[in-house]
Amino acid sequence: MTHTAQVAVNDATIHFDKLYTYLIPPELADSVWPGSMVLVPFGRGDHPRMAVVLAVGEEETPDPRCKSLLDAAPEDARLTPDLLELVQFLKERTFCTWFEAVKAVIPYGAQYQPGRKNGRPCVQSRLTRPTERRYTLVGDLPEKPKPGPRQLAAVQALREGPLTQKALELLGVSKATLDTLCQKGIVKAEEQFKSLDLFADIPFDPRPLTLSPEQQQVFDTLLPDLRDGQPHAALLHGVTGSGKTMVFLRLIEETLAQGRRALVLVPEIGLTPQMIRRLKSTFGSRLAVQHSALNNTERLLQWRMIQQGNADIVVGTRSAVFAPLQNIGLIILDEEQEHTYQSESAPRYSAHEVAKKRAAMEHSLLVFASATPRIETAHAAAAGRLKKVTLTHRYGGRPLPRVDFIDMRAELTSGNPREVSTRLAGELAENLKRGEQSILLLNRRGYRTVALCEDCGQSLQCPNCSVPLVYHKARRALLCHHCGHMLAPPPRACPQCGGKLLYTGFGTQKVEEELQTLLPGARILRMDQDSTMQKNAHEKMLAEFGRQDYDILLGTQMVAKGLDFEKVTLVGVLGIDSMLFGQGFRSYESVFSLVTQVVGRGGRSALPGRALIQTAVPQHPVLQLAAGQDYNAFYREEIAFRKFGLYPPFCAFCVLGFVGVKEAAVLTAASRFAALLAENAAAHPDMPLRLLGPVPMGIAMLNNKYRYKITLKCRNDVAFRALLRQTLDAYGQEKLPQKASVIIDFNSDGEL
Ligand code: ADP
Ligand code: ZN
């Protein structure tokens, strides 16, 4: 009998991701299991490539052409059966390659790559785990020769217990002294893995969790689902400020009391500090985080802590849904409506879907929470597929902010050229005088947006991407936000017709300047992608705003959600119209949610709140509904539109992208794919399927590559996925002059 392994290799494409069989040499027999990371000779040149083992077996007479595995990574890099199941799930649902799925579930720092040792190929860790030297006292200082004062100090310090080199250096003991003591056999040195407590500064300060009657009712309704050891899913729909977090804390408390663990997902990094603070102060330090603002080492150490069973609670953004946490009793997706829960690169998964899968595997209670749930989620609740619980009042009976509209057409007619209306400026000044804080939302970063030609009406475009270039004042340049192409200094004349270029539009930087002119004494904090590039910038800025070091917080959608500041009494919304008329079937949902969320940042404490929305279409129904914070009415309107136009939840919406350097070849490839799909579908007349396109994507060119798309309205079930897979295989075998790469996305709202 010969031992063999079935593996999937790194760097495959979706229409060429097969399993290959390799022999397991005797010296690796004990280290190759399903889920193991191995090194294999691949292709004609037998180049070493990383691969993941999906199955092992025994064969009487293996194919003589079968090659042998070169090396295997250590056990702690092996996918547990759970993670392997998630990899399989991703592959099946998102049409990614095996290895793309592996890279999604294992953080970079825990991955391996091909290397060489003693002239032979071997696996090599991507990151060496940082270690530190620790000293322990093992003997006594001799009387003679008389020890020096430094040696005495070192031994004195070590009498209390082992210390790290760093700690000893802080006490004035040098490495040289320690080396001498080691040589004499008085002290022993060991390398040990560095540990790190990311939240050492947050005090453990548990207080009894007392729920309001409404919160208690929600908790009581969910409690049986947490206790019966069966998988359950629920929607917690609670207006802004109703205290959803308080309900989470009680649910987590209950989960831990049952000896189980909790996974808490938030939609963006900016919201992690606040959640970590509340969790750590309530539950102590068996808490780990997983998000992209950690560096690779921090992320790895936190991951290992979870893997080794040393964390009871995991908090993080989308990818934390893959945390190697075991015995999960509770999974929470906070602000579940956020699009950041959908991955925009392979594997293009939705955290909702993966969370459901994990809840089913672990028999956990899964809670989707929001003040403005996704239409799909609300629909599932209405249909009884999720248990629905609601918080209809703000905590403490506080009223929701009063909302007014400012008609920007009237503002223009009256001769105000600024982006900040006279009324908003007045209210901001009022707040300043009273020592209260304000939040302004403008979902566009930068200074002025684009350069428009007065004569031909064209905007100045990136030569590599079909998008307008954006003016950045600090760099005195026009920049492409996609490929980074830069044009400096910004031209005055249109390169097409020579006409005069007008720089129009506005972003956060421009509004910041206007505010400085309008309110000279105001302390303004701008928060957007540009101002939060530095590590921990979010956390630092929000802490400063919370301490009232600033009067006005101006920013993009990152200021709209989840924040809880008691002194904020005024919220202003700028430039919302472009989102309202944006593309994609979710645009109304996004506007409704954003406006409701940001309005909800005001008046959360003793002081009442008010909100002002600047728009050219104050009568627009979506804005009116958002102003009234009337989710149920919005849901009724929106679900009717989705049904009428056939959009999710009434179908699955799948966008197929085709990308390549020659436009004609891309179009040919896309057309051929559409034809193959239609051909295959003809064999399944009962399968619901509508095929639209191919047409160029909204951004028709990106990085000098042409992009076409086919849109499918379908039912995303086993039969449909089999059909799509069959079509991909057929497409892979087509003899086309040039192949376009294929992207498949089940979570897109129209564009890729
Ligand atoms: P949501 O997430 O629903 O918008 P939060 O959980 O942030 O609301 O709660 C809003 C505010 O009310 C917070 O300042 C929170 O501390 C307070 N709060 C909510 N519930 C309670 C409670 N049961 N006891 C004390 N304070 C509460
Ligand atoms: Zn570009």
Q: Atom 18 in ligand 1: which residue has the minimum CA distance?
A: 243
- Higher-pLDDT residue of 751 and 618 is 618
Query: 100 lies in a domain?
Result: yes
CA dist 637 and 647 (Å) reads 14
- From CA 366, how far away is CA 436, in angstroms rounded? 38
CA of 731 to the centre of ligand 1 (A): 54
Residue nearest (by alpha carbon) to ligand 1 atom 20: 243
Section 156-166 average pLDDT: 85
Do 340 and 270 contact (CB within 8 A), yes or no?
no
Query: Ligand 1: which residue has its CA nearest to atom 6?
Result: 243
pLDDT bucket at 164, cuts 50 / 70 / 90: confident
Assign 554 to helix, strand or coil. Answer: strand
Give the Å distance between the CA of 320 and the centre of ligand 1.
25
State whether 268 and 382 are in the same domain: yes
Non-local (6+) Cβ contacts of 346 within 8 A are: 94, 96, 97, 100, 743
Asked if residue 629 and residue 658 are part of one domain, the reply reads no
What tens digit of pLDDT does each residue of 29-81 get?
999 999 999 999 998 889 999 999 999 998 888 788 889 999 999 988 899 99
Is residue 729 domain-shared with residue 596, that is, in the same domain? no
Residues having CB within 6 Å of any atom of ligand 1: 210-212, 215, 238, 240-246, 395, 564, 604
Report which of 429, 417, 436, 427 is spatially closest to residue 611, judged by C-alpha positions.
427
Q: Kindly tell me if the per-residue pLDDT of 448 is higher than 60.
A: no
Ordered strands of the 20-23 beta sheet: 20-23, 2-9, 47-59, 37-42, 71-72
Strands (E), 277-424: 287-290, 313-316, 328-333, 365-370, 387-391, 402-407
Please indicate, yes or no, whether residues 538 and 607 belong to a single structural domain of this protein.
yes
Cα–Cα distances in angstroms (integers) from residue 669 to residues 376, 665, 733, in the given order: 33, 6, 12
Q: Give me the pLDDT at residue 76, please.
A: 85
Helix orientation angle between 537-546 and 272-283, rounded to the nearest 10 degrees: 70
Give yes or no: residues 247 and 317 share one domain.
yes
User: Residue 446 pLDDT > 70, yes or no?
Assistant: no
Answer whether 742's CB lies under 8 Å from 656's CB: yes
CA of 712 to the centre of ligand 2 (A): 28
What is the whole-number distance in angstroms between the Cα of residue 255 and the centre of ligand 1?
20
Judged by its nearest atom, the ligand closest to the C-alpha of residue 485 is 2
Exposure class string for 657-692: b at 16+ Cβ within 10 A, else e: bbbbeeeebbbbbbebbbebbeebbeeeeeeebebe
Q: Which of 245, 277, 566, 599 to mutate to test the pocket of ligand 1 (most atoms within 8 A of CB)?
A: 245
Point out the domain boundary residue: 336, 369, 397: 397
- SS3 state of residue 211: coil
Does the pLDDT of residue 15 top 70, yes or no? no
How much distance in Å is there from the Cα of 479 to the middle of ligand 2?
Answer: 8
Mutate to test the pocket of ligand 1, among 332, 391, 564, 629 (most ligand atoms within 8 A of CB): 564
674 and 634 in a common domain: no
Q: Do 137 and 106 belong together in one domain? A: no
DSSP 594: H
Mean pLDDT of 668-689: 94
Nearest to 419 by CA among 627, 615, 618: 615
CA-closest residue to ligand 1 atom 15 = 243
- 219 assigned to some structural domain: yes
Atom of ligand 1 nearest to the CA of 211: 23
| Same domain, residue pair 553 and 611 | yes
> Is 246 part of any domain?
yes
Confidence of residue 445 (pLDDT cuts 50, 70, 90): low
* Paired tokens of 465: 């991407």
Confidence of residue 205 (pLDDT cuts 50, 70, 90): confident
User: Of the ligands numbered here, which is closest to the C-alpha atom of 213?
Assistant: 1
> Residue 95: is its pLDDT beyond 70?
yes
Asked whether residue 531 falls in the same domain as residue 603, the answer is yes
Same domain, 631 and 705: no
Name the percent of the chain lying above pLDDT 70.
98
Map residue 678 onto helix, strand or coil.
Answer: helix
Strands (E), 353-393: 365-370, 387-391
From ligand 2's centre to the CA of 582, what distance in Å?
21
259 three-class SS: coil
- Does some domain include residue 65? yes
Residue 258 pLDDT more than 60? yes
Mean pLDDT, rounded, of the chain: 89
CB atoms within 10 A of CB 1: 9
Return the ligand 1 atom nearest residue 210 CA. Answer: 23
Count CB atoms within 10 A of the CB of residue 417.
7
Q: What is the predicted pLDDT for the residue at 196?
A: 64
Which residue has tokens 């079509």?
A: 727
Mean pLDDT, rounded, for 662-686: 94
Highest mean pLDDT out of 55-69, 589-603, 625-639, 725-739: 625-639
Three-state SS string over 323-348 comes to: CCCCCEEEEEECCCCCHHHECCCCCC
Ligand at shortest distance from the CA of 282? 1
Positive or negative, the CA dihedral 137, 140, 146, 152 is positive
The answer to whether 570 and 611 are in contact (CB under 8 A) is: yes
Within-domain flag for 480: no
Please tell me the distance between residue 705's alpha carbon and the centre of ligand 2 in angstroms. 10
CATH of the domain at 166: 1.10.10.10
- List the residue whose alpha carbon is closest to atom 10 of ligand 1: 241
pLDDT tens for each residue of 306-339: 999 999 999 999 999 999 999 999 999 999 999 9
Ligand 1 centroid – CA 367 distance (Å) = 18
- What residues contact 668, with CB distance under 8 A and at least 6 apart? 736, 737
Best residue for ligand 1 mutational test, from 395, 568, 605 (most atoms within 8 Å of Cβ): 395
Burial class of residue 176 in the structure, from the number of CB atoms within 10 Å of its CB (0-12 exposed, 13-18 middle, 19+ buried):
exposed
Give the residue from 83, 105, 125 where a domain finishes: 125
Contact 181, 150 (CB under 8 A): no
To which H or E segment does residue 176 belong?
A: helix 175-183
Q: Which ligand is nearest to the CA of 371?
A: 1
Residues in the chain: 752
pLDDT exceeds cutoff 90 at 469: no
Q: What domain range includes position 660?
A: 652-745
Q: Residue 305 has which token pair?
A: 């802590």
pLDDT at residue 229 tops 70: yes
**CATH number of the domain residue 319 falls in:** 3.40.50.300
CATH of the domain at 19: 3.40.1440.60
* Nearest-atom index, ligand 1, CA of 391: 3
12-21, 192-201, 604-613, 722-731: least confident range: 192-201
Nearest Cα to 752, choosing from 346, 395, 323, 417? 346
Q: What is the pLDDT of residue 105?
A: 93
Cα 244 to averaged position of ligand 1 atoms, centre (Å): 7
Q: Which ligand is nearest to the CA of 212?
A: 1
State the pTM of this model.
0.87
Ligand 2 center to 283 CA (angstroms): 47
Q: What is the pLDDT of residues 578-600, one digit of tens each?
A: 888 777 889 899 999 999 988 88
In a domain, 465, yes or no: no
- pLDDT at position 713, please? 95
Q: Which of 207, 239, 246 to mutate to test the pocket of ligand 1 (most atoms within 8 A of CB)?
A: 246
* Local confidence band at 510 (pLDDT 50, 70, 90 cut-offs): confident
Does residue 376 form part of some domain? yes
pLDDT category of residue 562 using cuts at 50, 70 and 90: low
Structural contact between residues 635 and 692, judged by C-beta atoms closer than 8 angstroms: no
What CATH number is associated with residue 683?
3.30.70.360
- Give the pLDDT score at 293: 80
- Report the nearest atom of ligand 1 relative to the CA of 566: 14
Residue with CA at minimum distance from ligand 1 atom 21: 243
Determine, yes or no, domain membership for 464.
no
- Count up the domains in the chain and report the number: 5
Nearest CA owner, ligand 1 atom 22:
211
Choose among 17, 43, 108: nearest CA to 742.
Answer: 17
Residues 413 and 269 in one domain: no
Residue ending a domain, choose from 86, 101, 125: 125
- Residues 316, 276: Cα–Cα separation, whole Å: 9
The verdict on 242 and 356 lying in the same domain is yes
Flag whether pLDDT at 447 surpasses 60.
no
